Structure 1
């Protein structure tokens, strides 16, 4: 009896054959919606072929029963790929592609995807692995083929997967960038395998059967609850509410159409969350979609919109908020095995694969599912298929990643059978880029958009941009003058350093209540501050100084907004926090230039500001309405032309743009200078945001309890998963320089076997969040 796993709690045993069969069936279910069920099943059936040896069973038994982990690991992840190559690589071109695609998923399932080629034309990772001599290989094959039906099943799956491959190429034959589509297909097979393997192992450890989720009833019940509220809207005869209802009804009508890629350009305050949810629930219900996923740029939008959706559908447990990875993912992905290391095993098997009906996550997490290195984030990718994916504030995608983002969306729709909605009041020109999103005709969900925008006009924009700009003292004086006439002002600046300087200046000079907001605060802290501000608005004078996190999606309304010069899209979003509910005829938005902002490391903001100043504010055509659809369209056309000269699309030490690593041709890779996807290289250089971050749990509110519990010895995976999920609300992202400074000052401490981190009380302020001595001397890498 060859063993794959031994359960930690009761020492129950799972054989290799049982594990392979169970993983293959799960993987097939994950791959079916995208037409790669046989690919995924074949990968699952052969992924742990190398465990069919007496040596591995002894190795596993010693590790579990005697805590004797051999220093020399047994390579069990290459045998399946080698077997496919040796038995089936003599077929036609399509069969060769199947052997390579499935084989690469198998040999990468502990380390992350490898390269089919090398930039220096050395032997590729794939060729090296499938050709190397493996100890015990003959024993592995003999033991595997001795089990009745195994060999025949592999042949059947090879034949079926080859047919799938032909169908795939028929689908993309008329499309540009065919090889990019195929590269994503390889990553998708990998995702199906990783998640099936981790899920089966977790279910075995928890002694629970795996379940293929069906959330149709959740969507049906949610839609019914939403429609009850729509009926209430119809009774409100105010023109704005009637217009909101009309846009919502148009989304409902389009939900009856087959899967598509839509743009939803509802103006700020137009009920975008409600309308997009109405489309998503009805479409998911009628077309049997697996889940609904909201992708947002900032966690503040995530928190608020998730709560709004909970209130609409009245199903609290149906929604997952996925902010960030509390666990040090990179450390986990470097471990080949976890036998005898129970805390690492718990973390690798964590339930973070997005298997929920409705998910709210960030753009960083979405991009990481496709392009981040390792295995942990890749396992979520297949759950983006056969789904409704709504991108809120899509203009916030980092410009240098638009090629990757646009092609990923094309793949999710045309191959992954997903319906996609690009939501924003300021649509970027994604259909006109070099790697464009393939929008169909009449993709806009809002009819007569220009008239709709005019009807939602609620502010007057004032241009106070000067060449010199205002320092913190001058801005504070500007605020004081406004507060002589008004009761509430929101100031949005481009860097956290500038925000803090102005906050400190206002705290010294004004008598009213001053609030500070930035992502130096954990989500729970920011939510508490926003709740307090909303309660006090209209009751007492208030000034709020914030980074950009507040300007998109946050349901809050000030009499006046002051916005530091930035892209027109950012100014439009900031204007949405002014007179949001039309409390008065017109609110006032002032555009200024802030002296204290160092934008050297924020080129997109710098370019956006200069394009706004030079091409929009100075253009007489837009003098009366700089936020019109026409102005926004022309802003993005100018921005696209200028940003190319300022944004470095080629990473340091690499001669190619990242998208080029996925577009080097669809050929047989068994030549040493293969022309094929270089996922390992892409993942090595990919960063969703410019500077790497690590997550730390902070001692704010319940965060203190979480830190205490994680310091204790946890044996239950379910409890551990719950703690990690809750910890997201009490965590912050630290940039490398912050991590270094905090460590040097003894304020950042390891937790749970050095796989997590937490902040000392001295490093977290109720006013600013993360507070580090010496931080003001460092460069400001983040606007958010």
Structure 2
């Protein structure tokens, strides 16, 4: 095993450090309570430059790394210049009771004045660089945008080029309030740190008078941005914005760059762990080992950027992808001179925990501490805990470090990843620069909706070339986001699909059945285990009620109306083979490691059916009976249950494919799913992607009208309004609720949020989302819908979950 401590090799083009001056007197201006403004500005620039130095990004079009360095230096050194006003200084030094009123005053806001200073500072900073006048002005405008919105979200650049008369007056008031002597001292610090543009009161007066007309000239040229069809401007804006806001937040809370975990790991740690498990010599395990060795021994050209591990379910894709990524990481370090992060992204929270736990076991088995700066889980319910070596960080610091992806291996959700790639939001874009030089593993990539395929393709292609990143698709049903010849396959998928005969799909969709008719239709065989997968919670509940009257065995029920705490308990029992019957919605489809003999599935898009097949006869020994996936078509009194949640075109394509077959053996799955995706491409529209790509070209992050903008991208669409409800089901939930009530009493908003983040993961283990339109909405207590233990029976069934009343069958 290779596990050595080594020096990180940052990008080949060194960008240097911020100079510091220590002999000057203090300006007596503050950025935050007890923090000198000059110290914050210089330290922020230093942090941003360190991150830029470690990134392999060399340029965006004509803007090379030296230019990027100059822009980020000027932007960081000027990003809080607006805090030098008397308005802000007075706000900062005021008592807590007075602060709220001062905070709301327009003159207290510092973003616009800081942005104006940055605009002219960048113009000066780029003099002498190999960049023409128009390009220099454009880059100054990008700097203006990122500084103006460093405490908010990015907006439409056309709107940002407008300065109102009211804003002109505010800027004038702010400049006149500045103490000139203090500004002179501050300027000397900034000059000593590398800022080429003097910052004086006279210049601020001049700039605030001319900015409106200067931006108006730029605005005319911005109207043609979409004609250039250049995603690089979008990537560059996000990259610079990310460097700025990450440095700003980290400097305030953490104080310094904590450095990376300088450790080299390779596939040998996975090999050693696998050997310790002493897997039995079965046919399926032989195939798993063959696939593992094939991928790891595949000759790889680092000029290729997009790879695929397309293997049937149950063939150990997690082990394979981690081992391959670790080896690739070492090759990149040795051959290209930088050390990539590994970002492992999955669609569902349930499998993130499972995946991260497996990797943690591999790491710790090899005698390596799985500290947070080596392995990090990040999703909206992540525990706020960060540890490096023996140093455990304070909670506010931990939150900043986690949200900034300060780790070597990050396990996260599709939502976190794709809303970092395609977003206008400050919180999401803060970690954008971490994507540079990274190895991004997309597991279960078929979960990406078709309407975003073209958009995702264009963005991923660009980040591989412009950010020097690598993409690995990991899936049993690889969608045609990229054409086959655009992706390098790492395994002979045809061989593995042809070698398997574990399951057979049996379409029984000649007639549509009600739940009652379906319950009469099924035959229960002795010794077989059964999984029933439904399209809606209502249909699952109806069938569960009938089934429990027919059999005496325990039946596990799973839906999103059952608390996560109980769901995890039930899934664990399924994994251990303690459950013979399970009734569930489609949440069980991907990545959940359970195994049943016979699966009944209400009709769904073919890729979903294929995922469900992965929960059937997973550990086939090569001789036992085949598992069966029986596809049926269920209806209520109005329509098919599939119509409530799925695209009708996708269901129609699936029906036509299934209707022509009596059976589909596993070795034909690959061809069938390929035909499905081809037909999907032919019949489905990519207009949503095209509209969003145009918004990307235009840098239209947000919109005040109905025009499509980047903010419109939502990986997961909410089809109906929901409300969260806390369910008090046991003693642990009661303790969590009591802590929540205590936290609500904390007056300071920052401290209250910090305290809640400590219990957030536990809190949401007992929280479900229900339709806002139910007739029996629980009462609100302390700002949250709440069902206590005394009223549990009124609202909640301990088996099937929340008792929705007065809503249609979709729920």
Q: Quick check: TM above 0.5?
A: yes
CA deviation after TM superposition for structure 1 residue 365, in Å: 2.5
| Correspondence for 2:14 | none
Deviations 1:6-58 (A, max 9, x none): 2xxxxxx1011111112222223334413465244443222211001233121
Q: Count matched residues.
A: 687
8 Å contact 1:326–1:696 — kept in the other structure? no
- For structure 1, the residue ranges without an aligned partner over 5 or more in a row are 7-12, 118-123, 158-175, 204-208, 328-343, 433-438, 651-655, 665-675
| Correspondence for 2:377 | 321
Using the alignment, how far apart are the partners of 1:574 and 1:662 within structure 2? Answer: 36
| Correspondence for 2:651 | 609
| Correspondence for 1:580 | 618
Using the alignment, how far apart are the partners of 2:48 and 2:449 within structure 1? Answer: 32
| Correspondence for 1:302 | 352
Using the alignment, how far apart are the partners of 2:297 and 2:259 within structure 1? Answer: 27
Matches within 5 A, 1:358-757: 358-432=409-483, 443-447=488-492, 449-467=493-511, 469-479=512-522, 481=523, 483-537=524-578, 542-582=580-620, 584-596=624-636, 597-600=640-643, 602-604=645-647, 606-618=648-660, 627-644=668-685, 649=688, 657-664=691-698, 676-679=699-702, 682-691=709-718, 698-699=727-728, 702-713=732-743, 720=755, 723-724=758-759, 726-727=761-762, 730=765, 732=767, 734=769, 737-738=771-772, 741=774, 745-750=777-782
| Correspondence for 1:126 | 161
Deviations 1:456-514 (A, max 9, x none): 331122111123x22222222334x1x23442101112222222222222223322221
Using the alignment, how far apart are the partners of 1:731 and 1:49 within structure 2? Answer: 46
Aligned with residue 96 of structure 1, among 121, 137, 143: 137
Deviations 1:588-630 (A, max 9, x none): 11111121454445343x332221221354169x855584322
Using the alignment, how far apart are the partners of 1:759 and 1:357 within structure 2? Answer: 41
- For structure 2, the residue ranges without an aligned partner over 5 or more in a row are 1-27, 59-64, 125-131, 199-226, 384-394
Deviations 1:70-124 (A, max 9, x none): 241412011222123345559612212221222111111122001112xxxxxx2
Using the alignment, how far apart are the partners of 1:624 and 1:101 within structure 2? Answer: 56
Using the alignment, how far apart are the partners of 1:362 and 1:348 within structure 2? Answer: 17
Using the alignment, how far apart are the partners of 1:749 and 1:194 within structure 2? Answer: 36
Aligned with residue 805 of structure 2, among 749, 752, 774: 774
| Correspondence for 1:280 | 325
8 Å contact 2:503–2:665 — kept in the other structure? no
1:72 aligns with 2:99: no
CA deviation after TM superposition for structure 1 residue 732, in Å: 4.6
Deviates more, 1:470-479 or 1:680-689: 680-689
Using the alignment, how far apart are the partners of 2:752 and 2:50 within structure 1? Answer: 25
Using the alignment, how far apart are the partners of 2:660 and 2:717 within structure 1? Answer: 31
- CA 1:377–1:441: 2 relative to 1, 3 Å: closer
Using the alignment, how far apart are the partners of 2:549 and 2:687 within structure 1? Answer: 41
CA deviation after TM superposition for structure 1 residue 521, in Å: 3.3
- CA 1:565–1:599: 2 relative to 1, 3 Å: closer
- CA 1:280–1:519: 2 relative to 1, 3 Å: farther
Q: What secondary structure is seen at the aligned counterpart in 2 of 1:283?
A: helix
Using the alignment, how far apart are the partners of 1:49 and 1:459 within structure 2? Answer: 66
Using the alignment, how far apart are the partners of 2:279 and 2:360 within structure 1? Answer: 23
Using the alignment, how far apart are the partners of 2:111 and 2:299 within structure 1? Answer: 44
| Correspondence for 1:352 | 403
| Correspondence for 2:146 | 105
| Correspondence for 2:16 | none
Using the alignment, how far apart are the partners of 1:231 and 1:575 within structure 2? Answer: 28
| Correspondence for 2:36 | 15
| Correspondence for 1:58 | 90
Q: What secondary structure is seen at the aligned counterpart in 2 of 1:127?
A: coil
Aligned with residue 310 of structure 2, among 265, 268, 271: 265
8 Å contact 1:560–1:587 — kept in the other structure? yes
8 Å contact 1:525–1:700 — kept in the other structure? no
Q: What secondary structure is seen at the aligned counterpart in 1 of 2:556?
A: strand
Deviations 1:656-703 (A, max 9, x none): 822221124xxxxxxxxxxx5344562443332221666665545644
Quote the RMSD (CA, aligned, Å).
3.7
8 Å contact 1:371–1:682 — kept in the other structure? no
Q: Give the TM-score of the pair, scaled to structure 2.
A: 0.76
Using the alignment, how far apart are the partners of 2:314 and 2:426 within structure 1? Answer: 39
1:196 aligns with 2:247: yes
